Amino acid sequence: MTDLLTSIQAALGLPHIPIPFTSSGALPSAFAVTDLACASIAAAGQAASELLHQQTGRLPSLEVDRRLASFWFATSIRPMGWSVPPLWDPVAGDYATKDGWIRLHTNAPHHRAAAESVLGACADRTAMASKVAQWAKSDLEQAVVEAGGCAAEMRSWKQWQAHPQGRAVNAEPLIQFSVGGNQTAKPWQGSVAQPLAGIKVLDLTRVLAGPIASRFLAGLGADVLRIDPPTWNEPGVVPEVTLGKRCARLDLHDKADRAVFESLLKDADILLHGYRADALERLGYGTAQRQALAPGLIDVCLNAYGWSGPWQNRRGFDSLVQMSSGIADAGMHWKKADKPTPLPVQALDHATGYLMAASAIKLLGHGGSARLSLARTAKLLIEHGTGTNEPLRAEDDLDQGMLIEQTPWGPAHRLQVPLKITGTPLQWALPAGELGAHRAQWW
C-alpha cells in the first residue's frame, strides 16, 4: 500500500511522508484497487497540503478512509427518488471472437455507428454477438479503429509488454512534467478553507478521468468552467462529475465560438484536456498556440494509451485499456471465470483524475505542463500486485453527508468525502448540473 503511495509521491515530486489510511477492507479484485484509490486521493490531498504549507507556513495533516475511497471510485451520488441513467449503451461490452475476446465501446453515437459500419446494424447484444463471432479479434479491433470507433482485444500483461504500444507507454514516466518558466505567477488568493479560490480552471475533459480532476479542484475552491461541443452528452456520468462546476457549450469549428474560447483560455490558470493527442492541434490549438494565447498556463492532459508509440492518437477509455493491458485477462484467471473480468470500478479513470489534480496543484506558481495516460496508470496498478481479501463493511446511511444536493434531476446526497485535510474541508458551492446549462464566461 505504501509502495503505491511512495511511487506516486515520487512521480509528483512530493515528500515521502506516510499518510494514514483509516478503516479496513478492500474492493475484491485481482489488483490492489482500494490501495490505488487511497494513494491517488492521498497524493491529491498532499499536493493541496504542500500548497498551504508554502503559502501559510503551516502543514495540514491528512488522512484517507479506505471504505469511502473505494465507494467514491464507483459513484459518490445517492439520488433520492430518481435514478442516474445507465452508463453503457445497450450493445457496448465484451464479445467472443473466433480466437479470443474483444470489447466494443459504443457509448457515443458516432462510436456505435463506426462499429456498425464494420459489423452491420445490430439491434441488440445477441445480434452483435453473432456477427463478432465470425471475426478474428485482431482483425476486428483494427477494422473498428480504422472506421473511427473504439475497440480493444483482450491481451495478457505479458502480451502487452511485448506489444509496440505496451513497450512505449511502459517506458514513459507515470507523470511527464515540463515545468514552465513563469515569472509572472499571480499572487495566491486562496485561504486555508479554500486553497484554490481565485484559480480559473478551463475543463475540456469528458466522461470520468479529467472530470474527476476538475471536481476535486472545485472542491478546494477553484472556479471550474467545463466546455463541451454542441451535441455531446454523457447522461450516465453527468450527475456524478459536474459537482461544483459550471458547464457551457462551444463549437470550436465556429468563428465566433473560437473567439469566446480564446478569451476564456487567456484568463485561465489551468487547462485540463483529455482529447486524443492530436485533436487540439487539428483545431489549431496545439501546444505552441495555447502557450502563445495564455503564457504561463498550467496545461494538464491525459490520453488513453500514452504519449509515444503507434497508438498515441488512438481513441480509448478505461474499460478498453483494461482489456489491452492485461487487467481483464488477469481478472479472469483470478476469478476462475470464462470471460474477461475487469476491475470492480473504473479505477484507471478515477486514479488518473486525482493524479491530474495533484499535478495541476503542484504546477501552481510555476506554469508548465503534465501528461498522464490511463495505460501508464494501469502499469502502476498491475506492478503493485494484489490487495487484501478482507471485504469492506457494507455502505450504510451514516456514510452519506448531511447536506441535500438539489440537482436538476431531483434531490440527492453525496457520500462523505474520503479525504480529510485539517482545516480544509472539501466542499462544493454548486450542485451537479446539466451540460450546457451555463454561459461560456468566467464569473
**Window from 2-11, 37-46, 68-77, 336-345 with minimum mean pLDDT:** 2-11
Between 389 and 413, name the one with better pLDDT. 413
Exposure string over 242-253, b if 16+ CB within 10 A, otherwise e: bbbbbbbbbebe
Mean pLDDT, range 240-256, rounded to an integer: 98
Distance between CA atoms of 319 and 340, rounded to whole angstroms? 11
Q: Which domain holds residue 180?
A: 1-442
Q: Is residue 414's pLDDT more than 60?
A: yes
- CATH code of the domain in which 343 resides: 3.40.50.10540
Question: Binning pLDDT at 50, 70 and 90, where does residue 149 land?
Answer: very high
Q: Is residue 410's pLDDT more than 70?
A: yes
Beta strand 405-407 with 270-273 is unpaired
Q: For residues 207 and 233, is the Cβ–Cβ distance under 8 A?
A: no
* Nearest C-alpha neighbor of 1 from the set 26, 36, 25, 30: 36
At 443 the pLDDT is 84
Q: For residues 215 and 243, is the Cβ–Cβ distance under 8 A?
A: yes
Q: For residues 243 and 431, is the Cβ–Cβ distance under 8 A?
A: yes
Is the pTM here over 0.85, yes or no?
yes
At 183 the pLDDT is 58
State which amino acid sits at residue 332.
M
* Nearest C-alpha neighbor of 371 from the set 393, 352, 351: 352
At 389 the pLDDT is 86
Q: Is residue 238's pLDDT more than 60?
A: yes
At 1 the pLDDT is 45
Encode pLDDT of 119-133 as tens digits.
999 989 999 999 999
Mean pLDDT, range 426-437, rounded to an integer: 98
First to last CA, the chain: 41
Q: Is residue 270's pLDDT more than 70?
A: yes
Please count the structural domains in the chain: 1
* Nearest C-alpha neighbor of 144 from the set 109, 105, 93, 101: 105
At 2 the pLDDT is 53
At 139 the pLDDT is 98
At 184 the pLDDT is 66
Question: Binning pLDDT at 50, 70 and 90, where does residue 173 land?
Answer: very high
Mean pLDDT over each residue of the chain, to the nearest integer:
96
Encode pLDDT of 316-331 as tens digits.
999 999 999 999 999 9
At 172 the pLDDT is 98
Mean pLDDT, range 159-179, rounded to an integer: 97
Question: Binning pLDDT at 50, 70 and 90, where does residue 366 land?
Answer: confident
